[in-house]
Amino acid sequence: MPRILLPSHILEAALSGEEFDLDPENAKKLTRVLRLTAGETFTAFDGRGRAWECALAATEDDGNSGKKGRGARAVILSETLSTAVARLHLSVAQAVPKGDKMDFVLQKGTELGVAEFWPFEAERSVARLLMEDEAERASTRTERWRRIAAHAAAQCGRADVPLIHAIGDFATAVDYGTRDSRCFMLDEQPDIESLRASLTRAPLTAEVGDGDTPPRLMLLIGPEGGWTEREREWAERYGVEAVSLGNRILRTETAALVAAAILQWEAGELG
């Protein structure tokens, strides 16, 4: 069944059974791209964990406007079952990579159940977006990333959309990741404890029941050029656990997703 993201206030207002207008983008997607007609159903979700089965009530094709597929109205039929309580609140703090690699991390990380993304500039980051003359570009990029995450959530069946924070710095990510949270820093240096060994030594406590708060965990993923000694010292001072993913050196976007998948497996979210 097709899935679209709609603002909570629109869906809440429509719970009375009244028809509501779809925004132009979603109307186009349902009527022109997916070719739905009046009476056919789709799922609307609010990005916060709730979803509803809806039906197209009318499109502008049904009237005399002559604007094919430019508008549509819908009605809520019923609320769908909520997804199970997450066993892990996983955040990924990713040093912004060059090109469109961040898009890939967001898409696949959303599919893997990542709850929050913290893009940041590391000392060796190639992309520099926190300079004064780049502020507008950084804001535009963040909004684009939020749309990418929303589309990925719709495609993979999530009723919630990961939170995409504004581009920040390394210290801010570390401060958040070590506040009531376990924090892993992926590092390729030799003699670093493996993630597997760390989880064997101190397993995740992921038994979550109704109303419980899932354990929080953050992954710190460095830039293409690796961490500096100053960043390693700062992380150690805050209690970050430095871990490796084995002998192979993975690309920054690959490392983020491999580690996220391992942690979700350990928490029982995968498999």
Residue 36 has pLDDT above 60, yes or no: yes
107-123 pLDDT tens trace: 999 999 999 999 999 99
Residue 128 has pLDDT above 70, yes or no: no
Q: Are residues 166 and 62 in the same domain?
A: no
Residue 175 has pLDDT above 90, yes or no: yes
Q: Which pLDDT value is given to residue 17?
A: 81
In this prediction, residues 170-193 reach a mean pLDDT of 93
- The torsion angle over the Cα atoms of residues 208, 157, 161 and 263, rounded to 10 degrees, is 50
Q: Are residues 60 and 104 in the same domain?
A: no
84-111 pLDDT tens trace: 667 899 999 999 998 899 999 999 999 9
With contact defined as beta carbons under 8 Å apart, do 255 and 245 qualify? yes
Q: Are residues 126 and 253 in the same domain?
A: yes
In this prediction, residues 171-187 reach a mean pLDDT of 94
Domain that holds residue 44: 3-79
| Claim: this prediction has a pTM higher than 0.95 | no
Strands 41-45 and 163-164: unpaired
C-alpha to C-alpha distance for 214 and 228, rounded to whole angstroms? 32
Mean pLDDT over each residue of the chain, to the nearest integer: 87
Q: How many CB atoms lie within 10 A of CB 82?
A: 11
By C-alpha distance, which of 114, 68, 55, 60 is closest to 270? Answer: 114
Q: Which pLDDT value is given to residue 15?
A: 83
Q: Which pLDDT value is given to residue 71?
A: 80
- Domain with residue 263: its CATH number is 3.40.1280.10
Q: Are residues 17 and 111 in the same domain?
A: no
Q: End of a domain among 45, 79, 113? A: 79
- Domain with residue 19: its CATH number is 2.40.240.20
By C-alpha distance, which of 136, 133, 156 is closest to 144? Answer: 136
Give the residue, 17 or 210, on which the prediction is more confident: 17
57-84 pLDDT tens trace: 988 765 444 444 468 999 999 988 766 6
Domain assignment of residue 106, yes or no: yes
Domain assignment of residue 209, yes or no: yes
Helices 135-156, 101-111: crossing angle, 10 deg rounding: 30
Domain assignment of residue 35, yes or no: yes
3-class secondary structure, 177: helix
Q: End of a domain among 79, 112, 129? A: 79
Residue 172 has pLDDT above 50, yes or no: yes
Q: Which pLDDT value is given to residue 9?
A: 83
Q: Which pLDDT value is given to residue 66?
A: 43
Q: End of a domain among 57, 79, 101? A: 79
Domain assignment of residue 84, yes or no: no
* Overall number of domains in the chain: 2
